[in-house]
Amino acid sequence: MELSARNQLKGRVKEIKANEVSAEVILDVGGQIMVASITADSVKRLALKVGDDVTAIVKASSVMLAK
């Protein structure tokens, strides 16, 4: 699948915190932690589980940097 989003980060699912409606999927992306907020239905549909390799696709109009 080709996407217009250029920021595609390979990661591994470290933890999933879900309720009936939403979920936080905590990823390890090269030693950095990234959290994705998705629906609980998406967790089920993708059959996500701890240890899965995933790609985090980031498309944002605003990115903040700190130094």
pLDDT for res 32:
97
pLDDT for res 67:
95
**pTM of the predicted protein model:** 0.87
Distance, CA of 16 to CA of 64 (rounded, Å): 26
What is the tens place of the pLDDT at every residue in 36-45? 999 999 999 9
Please say if the pLDDT value at position 1 is more than 80. no
pLDDT for res 34:
95
At residue 19, the 3 state secondary structure works out as coil
pLDDT for res 60:
81
Residue 46 DSSP code = T
Does CATH number 2.40.50.100 belong to domain 7-58? yes
Residue 21 DSSP code = S
| Of residues 6 and 15, more confidently modeled | 15
Q: Helical H runs in 1-67?
A: 40-45
Enumerate the β-bridge partners of residue 9: 56
